[in-house]
Structure 1
């Protein structure tokens, strides 16, 4: 029985072990990501981590990044040594890239620029060419939004000043609180007002009434613990904004009261000392008052007289207005009657003219027939014919009586 030489056996064993190690190593290459959630603010650039373990080159591999929100979205595709984003989801176009210089080290992380609230969700890093079972990993992306709070002075209340803090564009919903210069939380005027817009961003508003302090500095703090973000705005309230203190008013009133008391005491003393003189002055004042009252009554009487005269003048003015209207109405009636008479005169003139024209035609007819026969069959002489024409004129055409019309 023949056996292999010892050296050949060793060579075969070494070759077998080497092939086994290579095969085992390649089958154990896995896709790993991050166990922690990736947090970002709207508008920031973010990196979704994904790499190969051990660190083998991924330059010639197929790398797929997809979004898992509601439906699978093609976020980024790398194949045949270059980016191939022909079927990329529209909202990601121009915002995704990979670190090509790091592919040789197994880094297949994805950079997403200018993230928005709609980008939040789960992303899958998938390398289908691997032979291991760990071909993909999932990365969670959380996107928040913050803004700087704005403080304004609303007015005064009692002896304090009312401040308003408002901040919009937050996601998720934040908490708002007021603090004084030492960091102590101040009691606000009621719960915060909240509003949510169509983009799911929150606006928070809260009021507080502050009293005058040594610094007059107050802070509005808005924070979101889920994304670990905090925004603060401080305001300094000038002293002259606060209502004036009652101390000065009380002191002034006290001094005034003391002066009044002293003056009254002195007055009482003098009044007791000069009772007679005061009584006389009191009588004079009463007399003057009565005189003034009489004058006031006279003025009242004169005022009433003036009022009566004014009413009479108004009545007379109304009467004159009525008479003027009557005169105007009569003048219009006269004008109407005059126009009627003028129309009748024009009609009579027309009839007279017509009669004259008919008379003229009759004369012309008679002149054109010099010989006419009388009722008895005898011819009339020229003198008889003339007399008959004149008689016909006088009997057939009586002159109308014309009435003289007033000229317009």
Structure 2
């Protein structure tokens, strides 16, 4: 009897050993949908008497617990209460499936499928990847400025964080001006990207987003006509600025020369600080990615207009005062002989001004 009992006990011991295998590769779960996770004992055997536990990071916090032939829902952690179901159609063959309803972003990650029979146990790990793709993409146009048109693309409700880029009509990537993202209370990604268009040839652009897990793509394009690019206004402003600067450079030396002629000293304090400020702002602009870009652009436009108006106004005032003084002195005894015309020839020959006798 005893010799025959040893093989029997040995066989009983080996019959209680098993391995657990789970799903190969990550399982994709759509946000708000249902996902099923299966695991199988090998060799196949009835597991009705075993403990079957599904958990995330901690063994003591099960997602679902099956023990003593019953589902113990009271042991489940709160966020999975009434959201899980253990399918037992193939439990006699050692296979069980966990079904999770109303998938959320928090369900993303690893799940442990744990089997225990007496003192022996084994587990398998299955990874779940939650995905969400937004079908809504908005493109916003900011008011045109002298720097161009700032185009903004927004899309909310993505998971994980999508790839986002601008593309032209040929499908080539256009460098963005800025890109940012945030997450809402549901941990979904809200994407934002901007692009500064400086010419009408860039008017056909596409905002492109791609889910890195599923490969699903969404896109929205916009076509801008020449009317959106304020080049006429820019040319008028630039021309006015150039004319104003030229007039200033012409009039200031004339007034300086007039002051020297009448012995009043030299006037050499033209209003160049404002021009210098404008030049610095033009050659060292605020980048479009800066949150104050719109404010800077508006400021630059206002300063340009104000400078143009001031230059024209100052030029008119200086000219008026100059000719008024000239006429006044001529009228009080100054003769035509006392004033030497400033021809190019005389200036090149270094003709001096005669002294005026009051």
Q: TM-score range by the shorter chain?
A: 0.5 to 0.7
1:135-170 Cα deviation digits (max 9, x unpaired): 222333343544243223334355965421112233
Establish whether residue 234 from structure 1 lines up as the match of residue 182 from structure 2.
Answer: no
Q: How many Å separate the matches in 2 of 1:22 and 1:47?
A: 35
Q: How many Å separate the matches in 2 of 1:198 and 1:97?
A: 27
Equivalent position of 1:108 in the other structure: 96
CA contact (8 A) 1:52 1:106 kept: yes
TM-fit CA distance, 1:178: 0.5
Establish whether residue 222 from structure 1 lines up as the match of residue 224 from structure 2.
Answer: no
CA contact (8 A) 1:96 1:112 kept: yes
- Bigger relative contact order, structure 1 or 2, given CA contacts below 8 A and separation 6+? 2
Q: How many Å separate the matches in 1 of 2:220 and 2:144?
A: 19
CA contact (8 A) 1:66 1:123 kept: yes
Listed as ranges, the matches of 1:224-303 within 5 Å are 224-225=211-212, 227-237=213-223, 239=225, 242-243=228-229
Equivalent position of 1:33 in the other structure: 22
* Structure ranking higher in helix proportion: 1
CA contact (8 A) 2:153 2:194 kept: yes
1:341-399 Cα deviation digits (max 9, x unpaired): xxxxxxxxxxxxxxxxxxxxxxxxxxxxxxxxxxxxxxxxxxxxxxxxxxxxxxxxxxx
TM-fit CA distance, 1:77: 1.9
CA contact (8 A) 2:211 2:217 kept: no
CA contact (8 A) 1:219 1:232 kept: no
Q: How many Å separate the matches in 2 of 1:244 and 1:135?
A: 71
RMSD of the TM alignment (CA)? 3.7
Equivalent position of 2:291 in the other structure: none
TM-fit CA distance, 1:96: 0.7
Q: How many Å separate the matches in 2 of 1:57 and 1:27?
A: 11
CA contact (8 A) 1:77 1:84 kept: yes
Q: Pick from 131, 155, 169 the counterpart of residue 181 of structure 1.
A: 169
Q: Pick from 62, 65, 74 the counterpart of residue 86 of structure 1.
A: 74
Establish whether residue 127 from structure 1 lines up as the match of residue 115 from structure 2.
Answer: yes
Q: Pick from 147, 161, 184 the counterpart of residue 134 of structure 2.
A: 147
CA contact (8 A) 1:53 1:106 kept: yes
Task: Report the secondary structure of 2:116's partner residue.
Answer: coil
Q: How many Å separate the matches in 2 of 1:203 and 1:161?
A: 23
Equivalent position of 1:58 in the other structure: 47
Kindly tell me the number of residue pairs found equivalent between the two proteins: 230
Equivalent position of 1:42 in the other structure: 31
Task: Report the secondary structure of 2:91's partner residue.
Answer: helix
After superposition, the Cα gap between the structure-2 partners of 1:22 and 1:144, relative to the gap in structure 1 and judged at 3 Å, is same
After superposition, the Cα gap between the structure-2 partners of 1:61 and 1:240, relative to the gap in structure 1 and judged at 3 Å, is same
* Structure ranking higher in strand proportion: 2
Q: How many Å separate the matches in 1 of 2:25 and 2:116?
A: 24
Equivalent position of 1:168 in the other structure: 156
Q: Which structure has the greater CA radius of gyration? A: 1
Q: How many Å separate the matches in 1 of 2:156 and 2:225?
A: 30
CA contact (8 A) 2:166 2:206 kept: yes
Q: Pick from 73, 87, 97 the counterpart of residue 85 of structure 2.
A: 97
TM-fit CA distance, 1:245: 7.6
CA contact (8 A) 1:221 1:230 kept: no
User: Which structure 2 segments of 5+ residues have no match?
Assistant: 236-358
Equivalent position of 1:194 in the other structure: 181
* Bigger mean CA deviation after superposition, 85-94 or 170-179: 170-179
CA contact (8 A) 1:162 1:208 kept: yes
Task: Report the secondary structure of 1:91's partner residue.
Answer: helix
* Bigger mean CA deviation after superposition, 33-42 or 237-246: 237-246
CA contact (8 A) 2:112 2:126 kept: yes
Equivalent position of 1:384 in the other structure: none
CA contact (8 A) 1:159 1:244 kept: no
When normalised by structure 1's length, the TM-score is 0.47
